[in-house]
Amino acid sequence: MRGPHNIIRLVRTLATMERTGAIGQVLAAMDAPPRLRAVARVLGWPFKWLGLKGDPALPPTTRALTALGPAYIKFGQILSTRPDIVGEELAEQLKYLQDKLPPFPVETAKRMIEEELGISVSSEFIEFSEPVAAASIAQVHRARLAETGEEVAVKVLRPGIERAFRKDIDAFWFAAQAIELISPASRRLRPKDVIAHFEGVVMGELDLRLEAAAAAEFAANTETDAGFRVPKPVWALSSRNVMTLGWAEGIALADNAALDAAGHDRVALGARVLELFLSHALRDGYFHADMHQGNLKVGADGAIIAYDFGIMGRLDDYTRRVYAEILFGFIRKDYRRVAEVHFEAGYVPADRDIDEFARALRVVGEPIFGMDASRISMARLLAYLFEVTERFGMQTRTELILLQRTMVVVEGVARGLDPHINIWQVAHPVVEGYIKTNIGPRALLRDLVQTAQVLGRFGPKLPALVEAQLVRQSRPEAEPKRPLHPALWMLAGGALVGAGVVLGALV
């Protein structure tokens, strides 16, 4: 599936961008160098006739991405949140991709629900609407349960969507392999690992049982978060291709005019979105990884309502601490510490110059502080960051791809509500609170207690393990003696240290 036949798919992608006029629009919006624009036109023009026509009623880029398929639509959804990169006009056009794609017939959806759940739609629901939102993977219907009268959202996967995604992902795999072969220097960015990560995320999104589980876990984690709500799943009416959630009533976060008319404070909402994301990522290690405007509403009480939990991110304790220290270093303008954290975490090879890396990071951070957000060119900052990663041999960290991408999206959402938002000022109290709780003496004591608890579970096995090792040591000289296994020394020593810590805490 990942063979050279995918060249046709990639050529068709470029041809479609040329035929629809999207390639010129995108490169112009991103202020691409004239030479790059010329090369793209030269490569695309001979194959223009192979390009997909798309819907002529749509703007060029939206037309091209919808014609190319769901994976490209996902990419467009991300760009729609970044007017500072692609420009206000193009970002506004791409918002169409969030939840206004052509739906499939309601009768098809009902048939799929009945086949999947083994029920009668007319018996389970006293109301079942036409599609109220249609995105790249699924569409949503508003319904009312016959048993309780509760309003719910019924999400149904598009017919044949998995096969369509497979085609795109196979082409991406071929492109990643070709890039690594043609440009060995690109291997540090691990394009194949990036595609593997993307594939895992997308395949998970195509199983709505996993999304229902994610919604339930996210709702439990955020239950006490003021001004934030998560609809809960109806498990009896959810399966692989169908999911039923409580209905989220509110104004779309992308509709600034309606938010203003309803009297909502957009500046406060912009800050709240960013605070919530950072809080979920750092505090819980579990965050909504698709927080674009199409997946967020504002309730009548001003609460932010999140839905569509197909893509969720998870961070372990160590990664959270690294991420928090990097953010806090930027906030305090302590670029030396930011550089040290990168080296300590292994993000930068140990043979590189830490002082030079700190100086390069200063170039990234300094222009942001004290400058109105509307004057910051995120496109130029991202271009410089790419130069930094190349110069210092930084490899792509696949475990952070989702976090980094979501941070970009959330920042774009916040700036859509408040173009002058200072992301560092908003982030400061959240990150500082996490640092105080999780990095320092209290965190060290908690880590030691947890270590003692883990070692305690091996306590009953310790005598037998030591005895077996000592027996092996006392065997005849014919059998070479081996030193006591380091793990046993560590286990014994750790048990003693852990016991001391626990006793000290009790005292």
The predicted-structure confidence for 127-177, as pLDDT tens digits, reads as follows 999 999 888 788 999 999 999 999 999 999 998 888 888 888 887 787 777
**Least reliable range by pLDDT among 92-96, 166-170, 188-192, 323-327:** 188-192
Active site residues: 290
Report yes or no: 247 and 153 within 8 Å, Cβ to Cβ.
yes
**Least reliable range by pLDDT among 87-91, 158-162, 426-430:** 87-91
CA distances to 295, 311, 411, 413 from 291, in Å = 6, 9, 10, 8
The Cα–Cα gap between 30 and 380 comes to 10
Q: Which residue has the higher pLDDT, 45 or 132?
A: 132
Q: Residue 299 phi/psi, 5° resolution?
A: -75, 170
> CB count, 10 Å around CB of 297?
20
pLDDT tens, position by position, 317-329 = 888 888 888 878 8
pLDDT on residue 490: 47
Q: What is the mean pLDDT of residues 415-434?
A: 85
* Closest to 410 (Cα-Cα) out of 271, 216, 297, 260: 271
Please, what is the average pLDDT of the chain?
79
Q: What is the mean pLDDT of residues 325-343?
A: 85
Write down the pTM of the prediction: 0.70
pLDDT tens, position by position, 6-15 = 677 777 887 8
pLDDT on residue 491: 47
pLDDT on residue 173: 81
Rg (C-alpha) for the chain, rounded Å, is 26
Strand partners, 287: 313
pLDDT on residue 499: 44
What residue spans define the domains of the chain? 6-98, 102-135+137-247, 250-439, 441-506
Strand partners, 145: 125
pLDDT tens, position by position, 251-279 = 999 899 999 999 999 999 999 999 999 99
pLDDT on residue 397: 63
> CB count, 10 Å around CB of 15?
23
Residue 183 corresponds to which amino acid? S
Report yes or no: 97 and 76 within 8 Å, Cβ to Cβ.
yes
pLDDT on residue 140: 94
